[in-house]
Amino acid sequence: VSRVINNTGTVKEKTRELVMTAMAELGYRHNVVAASLASNKTHTIGYVVPELHGSFFGAMMGGTEQALRQAKKHMLIATGHSDAQIEKEQIDALLSRRCDALILHVEAVSDEYLVSLVHQGVDLVVVNRFIEEIGDNCISLDNVKGGYLATRHLLDIGHTQIAYIAGSLFKADGKKRLTGHQQALADMGVEYTDNLTYEGNFQAKSGTEGIRALVARGAKFTAVACANDEMASGAMIALRELGRRMPEDVSVIGFDNVDFASYLSPGLTTIDYPVQKIGSMAAHWVLERVYGHSHHEYQHILSPRLILRGSTSSPE
C-alpha cells in the first residue's frame, strides 16, 4: 500500500488499481507533510535559473518540470539574475526549505563555491556549465564545439570576413562559444581581430547594437556569427535597417535553435542546443541519484549540431 501511496518501488498495475479504488471509497487523502517527515524527503527540487523570460529558459524548465511531474515530484523556482550574491541567497533559501536536490543554471558564482556545496553533501546538478572536479554533477552542451561549427560553416561556404557578436564573456557559455569561433578561424588560416568582435549580452537588443557598432567602426564583413538566436534576430533587424540583404549581402548564423529561429525571414541557420532535453536530463539525474529511480537516461556533455536554413549562403 505504501508503495502505491508514495509512488515508490514496483507495483503491479492491478494491485495499484485495487489500492486506489479502496482509497477513494474510504475518502483517504495522502498527508504529504507527515510522509515527508517520516521519509526525510520533501519530494521537492529547487531550481535556480538566471531569468524567467525568454524561450531558452522556458524550454529548459519545461523539460525538467515534465519529467519531475511524471515522477510525482515538484519544483521550486528561483531567479539568480546572473549576480553571485543573489544566486547564493536563492540557493540558501531553497536549502532552508528542505529541497531534496538543486538544479542550478547559475552564471556568476565561482566553480569553487559549487564544488564546496557538493563536498558539503548537497545533492545538486549544474546545467549549461561543466566543472571538471564535479563533472558527475554537470550536464552541459559542448559550447566550444558549437561555436566552432557555426564559424566553420561560414568559412566552408567561402566567407573570410566574419563578424562575431559574443554573449556576455563573464559567462562560461559566452566565453566558450567565442573560443570555438577563434579556433575555427585559426584552423582555416584566418586571422582573428577584435575589430570584428562585439560583446553583447545574449539579448536581442545587443545584436542590433552590435551591428550598428561594427558598422560605425568601419568593420567590413560578409557574414556575422552570433552567440545565440536572440542576438541573431536583433542583428537581422539592424542589417535590414541598413539595407543589407540576407543572405545575399550578409550571412547570419545564430546559436541555440530556439522555436522562433525557423520563423524568422529568412529562416535562421543556427546551432542546435537541445535545451528541453538538457532540462529533462537534469531531472533524470535527480531521480536516479537522489530518489534511486532507474532507467533514466542522461549524459554529462551533449554534442551540438548545425541546422541549415536560409540565412547563410556563399558570398556574392
Q: Where are the alpha helices (DSSP H) in 188-257?
A: 204-216, 229-241
Positive or negative: CA dihedral 206, 211, 215, 217: positive
Residue range 114-140: mean pLDDT, rounded: 96
pLDDT tens-place string over residues 295-312: 777 889 999 999 999 999
Query: Which position has the higher pLDDT, 20 or 69?
Result: 69
Q: How confident is the model at residue 10 (pLDDT cuts 50, 70, 90)?
A: low
Asked if residues 71 and 293 have their Cβ atoms less than 8 Å apart, the reply is yes
**CA–CA–CA angle 140, 292, 4 (5° rounding):** 125
Terminal-to-terminal C-alpha distance of the chain: 71
* 44-49 sheet: strands from edge to edge: 74-79, 44-49, 101-104, 124-127, 138-141, 301-302
Q: Which range (39-48, 115-124, 131-140) has the least confidence?
A: 39-48
Instruction: Tell me the pairing of strands 305-307 and 270-272.
Output: antiparallel
Query: Which position has the higher pLDDT, 95 or 293?
Result: 95
Q: How confident is the model at residue 37 (pLDDT cuts 50, 70, 90)?
A: very low
**Rounded distance between C-alpha atoms, residue 271 and residue 150, angstroms:** 7
Please tell me whether the peptide bond between 266 and the residue prior to it is cis, using omega within 30 degrees of 0: yes
Asked if residues 93 and 77 have their Cβ atoms less than 8 Å apart, the reply is no
Domains in the chain: ranges and CATH: 2-141+275-302 (3.40.50.2300), 143-273 (3.40.50.2300)
pLDDT tens-place string over residues 88-115: 999 999 999 999 999 999 999 999 999 9
Q: Which range (47-61, 100-114, 126-140, 212-226) has the least confidence?
A: 47-61
**Alpha carbon of 56 to those of 61, 114, 214: distances in Å?**
9, 23, 26
Query: Which position has the higher pLDDT, 293 or 180?
Result: 180
Look at residue 67 and give its three-state secondary structure: helix
